Structure 1
Amino acid sequence: MLKTWRRYLWLLVLVALLSFLLPRGARLLYPLPYREIIVTYAHREGLDPLLVAAVTRVESKFYPRAQSEQGARGLMQLMPETARLAAGQLGLPYDPDRLFSPEYNLRLGSWYLAALLREFGDLTPALAAYNGGRGNVHNWLERGIWDGSSRNLSQVPFPETREFVRQVLQNYRIYRILYPGVR
């Protein structure tokens, strides 16, 4: 009886320790750097900050100096022409070198993501447009190549875009679990 009681007590201690450590450990894998900036600009654009965090994690792993072979820059991997459009809409001066500034990049990227959500009316095609281009996504939807749903991502012609949308949606779910107080 004493051995059973000790095992039970040990199991309770182990469960308590794991429940304490797991969220912290998971947050090491899914950090939320630039939290204040993300929250500020996400709220300004009517976005969930955790969605912006998920896009940023997938795009750059929160590395502000990230640059793709195609020329996308910064945390949210904005193409210079997209950033120029966003800056103009926000009444900001455009400077491609400032795309490496976390605040500037997150401000422009949040605006652009919100604009795509308004344009497409749904998260999945908006994310596809963020990665694969607005014109391409409109074309796929109009021609019936893709129905715009996450369950039919296999219909998206660009493998990179399929994977991007899948990863962002997965990261978004994880961020909502790990950071329930960030909204």
Structure 2
Amino acid sequence: MARRRARREGRLLRWYRLLPLLALAGTLGLCGALDAAPTTLGRQLLYPVSDVAAIEASAARHGVDPDLVCAVIKCESSWNPTATSSAGAIGLMQVMPDTARSLVEMGLVDGSAWDADNLTDPSTNIEFGCAYLGYLQEHLSSTEEIVAAYNAGIGTVQGWLDEGGVIPDDIAFAETRAYLQKVTLAYEGYQRSYPSGLTDASDR
């Protein structure tokens, strides 16, 4: 009797160990299948897009890649225009109000057309986010450095570089390392999903 119970418990234990592996395999399989269908369900679920006209216009104005803008939005706010952070960042691209005001003062954003106090408005937030990406692009030399600076600040990244560091190898903050990985994966996903440009998404 005891031997039979032990065998039964052993079988149950093996199933409990196997279930998480099966769940992980199923999740990876689903993600792979969705990712392999960039023009249909996979694109809509994994790499959504909204405000296409605003993204394309602001990205062109500031010389940044619209796919990178989408990747930042996905990772910063999951496309929630009213998202806020504990640090005070606001909107789709999680722009800090002080950063927005600085971009106006530097002449990088037309303050008469885009109100730095209206960062929950998607078009306004995208304009300021793209302007900031463009500013980082002018002062840094790689996409990895730009993305790291969007999270950690340009002064921090330049400090790492001045000390002989290389991005991403010498990122000192775990949060920034994780952020760079997330944005890079999303960026690659948007590039695959919209090979002809974001206008592919404008009919949805």
* TM-score, with structure 2 as normaliser: 0.73
1:70 paired residue number = 87
Aligned counterparts, 1:113-128, within 5 A: 113-128=133-148
What stretches of structure 2 of length at least 5 have no aligned partner? 1-32, 199-204
- Partner in structure 2 of residue 4 of structure 1: none
What residue identity is the alignment partner of 1:160?
E
Is the Cα contact below 8 Å between 2:97 and 2:117 reproduced in 1? Answer: no
Q: Residues 12-39 of structure 1, C-alpha deviation per residue, up to 9 Å, x if partnerless?
A: xxxxxx89x9221111221111111111
SS in 2 for 1:98: coil
Query: In 2, Cα distance between the equivalents of 1:100 and 1:87?
Result: 17
User: What secondary structure, in the 3-state scheme, does the structure 2 residue paired with 1:92 have?
Assistant: coil
The code of the aligned residue for 2:149 comes to: A
Residues 1:91 and 2:106 are matched in the alignment: no
Distance 2:116 2:65 in 1: 26
**Counterpart secondary structure, 1:100:** coil
SS at 1:66's partner residue?
coil
- The one of 108, 116, 129 equivalent to 1:109 is 129
Structure 1 segments, 4+ long, off by >3 Å, are 93-97
| 1:133 aligned residue (153, 156, 160) | 153
Deviations 1:94-149 (A, max 9, x none): 755401110111001101101101101211111111110111111111113x312x
- Relative to the length of structure 1, the TM-score reads 0.81
Q: Structure 1 unaligned segments of length 5 or more: list them.
A: 1-17
Match of 2:178 in 1: 163
Contact 2:115 2:124 in 1 (8 A): no
Cα distance in structure 2, aligned partners of 1:170 and 1:91: 32
In the aligned structure 2, how far is the partner of 1:142 from the partner of 1:50? Answer: 29
Q: Which residue of 1 aligns with 2:29?
A: none
Aligned to 1:28: 44
**CA distance in structure 1 between the aligned counterparts of 2:37 and 2:158, rounded to whole angstroms:** 41
Higher helix share: 1
Identity of aligned residues (%): 37
Q: CA RMSD in A?
A: 1.9
Structure 2: distance between partners of 1:50 and 1:138:
24
Q: Please, which of 48, 51, 74 is the counterpart of residue 65 of structure 2?
A: 48
Name 1:59's counterpart in structure 2: 76
Q: Secondary structure at the match of 2:87?
A: coil
